[in-house]
Amino acid sequence: MGSRPPLGPATAVLLDLLSEKARLSRLETVRQIAIAKSGHYGTAFSCAEIFAVLYYDALRIDPTRPDWPDRDRFVMGKGHAAVGLYPLLADLGYFPTEWLDRYARLGSPLGDHPDMRKIPGVDFSSGSLGHGISVSVGMALAGRLDGRDYRVWCLLGDGELNEGQVWEAAMCAAHHRLGNLVAVVDRNLVSVDGRTDEIMDPEPIAGKFAAFGWRTAVVAGHDLGALHDTFGTVPDPADAQPTVVIAETVTGKGVRFMEGDFGWHLGYLAPDDEAAVVAELRTGAPS
């Protein structure tokens, strides 16, 4: 396995592009949920910048070859945030943008959770929390055995860290010296049932991963430049130590009345509220 070049500088042009794509993710999330009549606003909004930096900056991918053996893999442990990822996959050309118009409708390939059998660009049919990191360990180990230098990126929710399977996978990844594995924790402080510190406090997240043998980093999860810089410092895939990036985010980010409110983990906007949300996402100010 050879070394891979680092990410380039976070230029103003790049940051503007990433900001545009994060906005696209949020706006299309609202539009798709209006089609489905229910969906996960809060969790999709909290990781919009993460999606943008991964797919337009950090991942080694080729949308014209979704099955390219040397592509980086992306696994969504928190598969219920897929509504925020689909618009970017369509924008990149993995599938026609018209697919978004039938989000979660009967016969549509785009469901509430992603299906790798139906959607080009999706590497794992996630949904059951905790499974994603275990599958990512298997993919990373396969890369080692095949002599390929791809990375496996896994997005976890902080509520997902309640699952014991996550920590079994963390121990396994360190034991097998999988430096080609990067976990990103969307630390938005809430889960479907309430605040994570009240349901089952996951802290100290960095300390726990470090105790399992992982390299750790903490980053402001809505700061595009910081995400770029942090993802750019991930060691070469040939390294022996897996990495976890803890992205400190806000659930419902971008919509003032949703921010920090776990009640918007799943919901639906009435038409007037939807129009106000779209206006706020476009302008950055509540209407």
Q: Which fold has domain 12-283?
A: Rossmann fold (3.40.50)
Give the β-pairing of 215-220 and 194-195: unpaired
Per-residue pLDDT of the chain (287 residues; tens, 9 = 90+): 445 677 888 899 999 999 999 999 999 999 999 999 999 999 999 999 999 999 999 999 999 999 999 999 999 999 999 999 999 999 999 999 999 999 999 999 999 999 999 999 999 998 788 899 999 999 999 999 999 999 999 999 999 999 999 999 999 999 999 999 999 999 999 998 999 999 999 999 999 999 999 999 999 999 999 999 999 999 999 999 999 999 999 999 999 999 999 999 999 999 999 999 999 999 987 86
Question: Residue 270's pLDDT is what?
Answer: 94
Taking alpha carbons only, the member of 127, 106, 115 closest to residue 86 is: 115
Please name the amino acid found at residue 271. P
Tokens 């990375």 belong to residue = 151
Sign of CA dihedral 207, 209, 214, 218: negative
Please name the amino acid found at residue 7. L
Question: Residue 2's pLDDT is what?
Answer: 44
Question: Residue 8's pLDDT is what?
Answer: 85
Taking alpha carbons only, the member of 140, 147, 146, 88 closest to residue 114 is: 88
Question: Residue 1's pLDDT is what?
Answer: 44
Structure tokens at 281: 């996402």
Helix (H) or strand (E) holding 12: helix 12-36
Question: Residue 128's pLDDT is what?
Answer: 80
Q: Please say whether the beta carbons of 60 and 72 come within 8 A.
A: yes
Would you kindly state where each structural domain of the chain is located, as residue ranges? 12-283
Structure tokens at 282: 């476009």
> What is the chain's length?
287
**287: CB partners within 8 A, 6+ apart:** 275, 276, 279, 280
- The CB-based long-range contact list for 99-105 (8 Å cut-off, 24+ gap) reads 100/28, 100/31, 100/32, 101/35, 102/35, 103/32, 103/33, 103/35, 103/36, 104/32, 104/35, 104/36, 104/39, 105/35, 105/36
Q: What is the pTM of this model?
A: 0.96
Residue 251 CA to its chain's centroid (Å): 13
Tokens 């009967």 belong to residue = 106
Q: Please say whether the beta carbons of 45 and 80 come within 8 A.
A: no
Q: Rounded CA gap, 150 and 276, in Å?
A: 42
